[in-house]
């Protein structure tokens, strides 16, 4: 245990289990909303890792050598002391005693609470059951040697060590999962000097965010950089040594892929064991209402470990929105409830820019507008339904991403800027805003919005489509 300050009272009013990004953001929100930036009651945050809180989003740049560990730290130890917060690290909570309203840590400490927030996050998902003779492993820390996830600083340290060994003649790496996390892990390991093979079950990379063209451009770029990519890869079983070390996988087509290190980047599973053992209502995650309250009126849950209206979370934007709602709720300040909303995905890997939001597969009578500049490597695909934007895929030039996302969320009628939307989306949307409230698509005063933009450039295509919906399950990337 490493408490960074002492509490003002013997009984902390608020205890937070977990000290990842969601918990730290909640603390910062509480401080910013409190008078004189001093919390009105003693607060204790309990983390499993023996570190100060850090930005997990920066693990990929850290692995790629683009930043240093010190740059990931969210707050230094004195920040907690200044705001009257007790920080316990390296001594995780092992039990919640709801009847006594206290939590017990692994070292045997008992900490009472008046309000409890569970922010335990998630754990990596295994893409394939472990060999039957190996003990069951609920946590990545319990996975056999040679197999690991990509979730924390310790994982990066292990991967960096593998890169060093690889440069000295060791074996390469195998990354399972062609979603955001898998691509970032693979590129980081490649930049570290390893020969890397990436496996994706779907026929295309990032199949939940990208259409075939954008995914193809991404795959081509990564191959040119030196990644070996296998799509349509179905796993059969793990390869292992007699001592139980994982050395790769066998695919269902019979191919055996050997590696010194295998990374499972196949999605996440909400960490709900403490909550379930305490009798809280759980399904895929801990069930909470719009104010992040669980089935116990004294306990809230936040972030990747919770679900709202059946939806779980793996991206920063909704979790940040939850922290603001919960902070105001704990401080008894008026706040509207949290509501699920459309999300945008942005990927940047050493110069590759991608942006995706909304729906990917068109419905009958939807319009798919496509622009591609082969020379510049830019691709743009807009999905319209009744003259409103419902889906966006951008590759290369993603500068219009935020403007398009705002138009998508607002359900803005786009009839008046229809002819410029594809070629100059940011400028067209800005003009629409300046011109005032838009007319409805069926308003006689509005433009018909059916003009074909193909006459403006031979690189532009507009298509009415009834393409079959792609329902390919992607067990290799359940959450970004």
**Three-state DSSP state, 299:** strand
So what's the pLDDT on residue 351?
80
In this structure, what are the phi and psi dihedrals at residue 52, rounded to the nearest 5 degrees?
Answer: -65, 155
Alpha-carbon gap, residue 247 to 145, rounded angstroms: 9
> Strands, DSSP E only, in 131-232?
147-148, 173-176, 196-200, 228-231
Q: Which pair of tokens denotes residue 179? A: 């979603």
**Could you count the other beta carbons within 10 Å of the beta carbon of residue 161?**
13
Q: At what angle do helices 180-191 and 153-167 cross, to 10 degrees?
A: 40
End-to-end CA separation in angstroms for the chain: 32
349 phi, psi to nearest 5 deg: -120, 100
DSSP class of residue 272? -
Q: How many CB atoms lie within 10 A of CB 1?
A: 13
CA pseudo-torsion sign 19, 20, 25, 28 = positive
Helix (H, G, I), strand (E, B) or coil at 236: strand
Residue 364 has a CB neighbour count (10 Å cut-off) of 9
> What predicted TM-score, i.e. pTM, was given to this entire model?
0.84
d(CA 340, CA 322): 10
CA distance 184 to 365: 36
Q: Of 288, 291, 280, give the one whose Cα is nearest residue 304.
A: 288
Spatial contact of 384 and 367, defined as CB atoms under 8 Å apart: yes
Q: Which two tokens stand for residue 373?
A: 């500049």
Q: According to the model, what pLDDT value does residue 435 have?
A: 65
pLDDT at 139: 66
The one-digit pLDDT tens for each residue of the chain (480 residues) are 344 443 344 456 999 999 999 999 999 999 999 988 889 999 999 999 999 999 999 998 999 888 999 999 999 999 999 999 999 999 999 999 999 999 999 999 999 999 999 999 999 999 999 888 877 766 667 899 999 999 999 999 999 998 888 776 778 999 999 998 999 999 999 999 999 999 999 999 999 999 999 999 999 999 999 999 999 999 999 999 999 999 999 999 999 999 999 999 998 999 999 999 999 999 999 999 999 999 999 999 999 999 999 999 988 999 999 999 999 999 999 999 999 988 898 877 768 899 999 999 999 999 999 999 999 999 999 999 999 999 999 999 999 999 999 999 999 999 889 889 999 999 999 988 776 554 444 443 333 333 333 343 444 444 444 343 333 333 223 332
The answer to whether 201 and 233 are in contact (CB under 8 A) is yes
What is the predicted pLDDT for the residue at 438? Answer: 45
Of 367, 402, 404, nearest to 383 (Cα)?
Answer: 367
Predicted local confidence at residue 479, as pLDDT: 31
Q: Which pLDDT score, from 0 to 100, does residue 138 have?
A: 64
Give the per-residue pLDDT at 134: 79
- Bridging pattern class, strands 268-270 and 261-264: unpaired
């Amino acid at each position: 245990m490493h408490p960074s300050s002492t509490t003002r009272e013997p009984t902390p009013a608020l205890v937070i289990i977990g000290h990842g990004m969601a918990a730290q953001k909640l603390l910062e929100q509480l401080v910013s909303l409190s008078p004189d930036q001093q919390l009105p009651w003693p607060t204790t945050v309990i983390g499993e890792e023996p570190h100060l809180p850090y930005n997990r989003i920066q693990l990929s740049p850290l692995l790629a050598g683009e930043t240093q560990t010190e740059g990931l730290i969210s707050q230094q130890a004195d920040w907690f002391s200044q705001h009257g917060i007790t920080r316990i690290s390296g001594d995780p909570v092992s039990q919640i005693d709801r009847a006594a309203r206290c939590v017990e840590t692994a070292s045997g400490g008992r900490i009472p609470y008046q309000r409890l927030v569970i922010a335990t996050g998630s754990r990596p998902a295994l893409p394939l059951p472990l060999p039957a003779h190996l003990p069951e492993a609920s946590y990545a820390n319990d996975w056999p040697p040679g197999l690991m996830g990509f979730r924390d600083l310790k994982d990066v340290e292990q991967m960096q060590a593998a890169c060093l060994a690889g440069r000295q003649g060791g074996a390469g790496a195998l990354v399972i999962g062609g979603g955001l996390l898998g691509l970032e892990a693979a590129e980081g390991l490649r930049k570290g000097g390893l020969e890397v093979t990436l496996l994706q079950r779907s026929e295309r990379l990032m199949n939940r965010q990208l259409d075939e063209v954008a995914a193809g451009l991404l795959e081509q770029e990564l191959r040119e950089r030196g990644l070996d990519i296998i799509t349509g890869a179905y796993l059969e079983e793990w390869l292992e040594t007699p001592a139980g070390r994982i050395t790769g996988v066998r695919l269902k087509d019979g191919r055996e892929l050997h590696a010194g290190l295998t990374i499972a980047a196949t999605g996440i599973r909400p960490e709900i064991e403490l909550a379930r053992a305490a009798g809280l209502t759980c399904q895929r995650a801990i069930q909470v209402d719009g104010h992040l309250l669980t089935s116990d009126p004294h306990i809230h849950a936040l972030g990747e470990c919770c679900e709202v209206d059946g939806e779980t979370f793996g991206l920063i934007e909704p979790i940040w929105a939850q922290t603001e709602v919960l902070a105001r709720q704990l401080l008894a300040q008026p706040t509207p409830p949290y509501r699920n909303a459309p999300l945008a995905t942005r990927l940047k890997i050493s110069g590759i820019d991608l942006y995706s939001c909304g729906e990917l597969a068109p419905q009958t009578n939807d319009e798919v507008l496509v622009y591609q500049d082969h020379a510049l490597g830019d691709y743009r695909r807009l999905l319209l339904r009744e003259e409103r934007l419902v889906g966006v895929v951008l590759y290369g030039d993603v500068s219009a991403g935020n403007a398009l996302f705002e138009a998508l969320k607002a359900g803005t009628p786009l009839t008046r800027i229809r002819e410029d939307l594809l070629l100059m989306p940011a400028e067209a949307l800005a003009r629409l805003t300046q011109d005032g409230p838009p007319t409805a698509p069926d308003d006689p005063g509005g433009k018909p919005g059916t003009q074909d933009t193909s006459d403006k450039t031979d690189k532009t295509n507009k298509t009415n489509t009834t393409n079959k919906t792609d329902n390919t399950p992607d067990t290799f990337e359940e959450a970004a």
